[in-house]
Amino acid sequence: MKSYMTQRLNEYRDGNEDKGRLLVSCPDQPGIVSAVSAFLFEHGANIIESNQYTTDPEGGRFFLRIEFDCEGIREKKETLQDAFASVAETFDMTWSLTLASELKRVAIFVSKELHCLHELIWEWQTGNLMAEIAVVISNHEEARELVERLNIPFHYMKANKDIRAEVEKKQLELLEQYEIDTIVLARYMQILTPDFVSAHPNRIINIHHSFLPAFIGANPYKRAYERGVKLIGATSHYVTNDLDEGPIIEQDIERVDHRDNTEALKNIGRTIERSVLARAVKWHLEDRVIVHENKTIVFN
């Protein structure tokens, strides 16, 4: 399976070898789009997709995502970054320039429940998640057979609050070893320490099994049942040091009623969790998400 996926990923790289992505955030003012477009034109680039948003045309914050083709961009990337720095300085931009062919290396953290892991692997195999799934890390053994059957490295690392700092030190070493730049918590039922979170700002994606901000923390389905909710949902967000309060990337809901007990809510919720997490990860991998304060702008 790994050789098949290696071939698929290489085909994607080759098919997108000239594609670049530019993300911009800056104070809104006239001339931003013109300046960026002129820059790309001057460097032989052709815009193939452009999305923009402003919080307020008068003194608000402006956000821009552009996909463009530029022949030989792999060799030109550093030159383009150096040249764009002067444009960025003029408009006080926070920005990033990435290549579609430079696939992100992903680590998936999982515990006992494997439905989100299954969904991510399925989407990866079908070509909807273009990334290198470099490693799966778990505090349980349930996922080993699935993961190793795909020739993806699997690491079992016991984790609980009593040994959290020690375990996270080993996990961080593994992440460095595998050159990871995106971490997905696919129902990894452990709270991360501030040191771990700060090492990967806006690069840890979690799925929480409730429609946040409702039912933060543990046992949301049980609490939802006790409250008699008529809707349940799931939320994918970037991880911060505030539990389940990071910038929200994606959410969805499903209607329920008085006949649905806690177990029924869990079963309904698992379907929502799978799709919500997969969409959030896809948008992150495609550089469609800009974080501003504790919110996201998602150009999907």
Q: Dihedral of CA 233/239/245/248: which sign?
A: negative
Tokens for 19, please give them: 């594609």
Catalytic position from the list 244, 252, 257, 260: 244
What is the distance between the alpha carbons of residues 143 and 108, in angstroms, rounded to a whole number?
11
Long-range contacts of 28-33 (CB under 8 A, 24+ apart): 28/54, 28/55, 28/56, 28/57, 28/58, 28/59, 28/60, 28/61, 28/62, 29/62, 29/91, 31/91, 32/62, 32/64, 32/91, 33/64
Tokens for 73, please give them: 């961009």
What is the distance between the alpha carbons of residues 65 and 283, in angstroms, rounded to a whole number?
12
CA atoms within 13 A on the CB side of 45: 25
Q: Is there a catalytic annotation at residue 252?
A: no
Residue 44 phi/psi, 5° resolution? Answer: 75, 20
Q: Nearest to residue 24, comparing CAs of 11, 15, 33, 13?
A: 33
Is residue 55 helix, strand or coil?
coil
Is residue 151 helix, strand or coil?
coil
Q: Could you tell me where the DSSP H helices lie in 44-114?
A: 73-91
Q: Could you say which DSSP state residue 72 is in?
A: T
Answer whether 297's CB lies under 8 Å from 53's CB. Answer: yes
Active site residues: 244
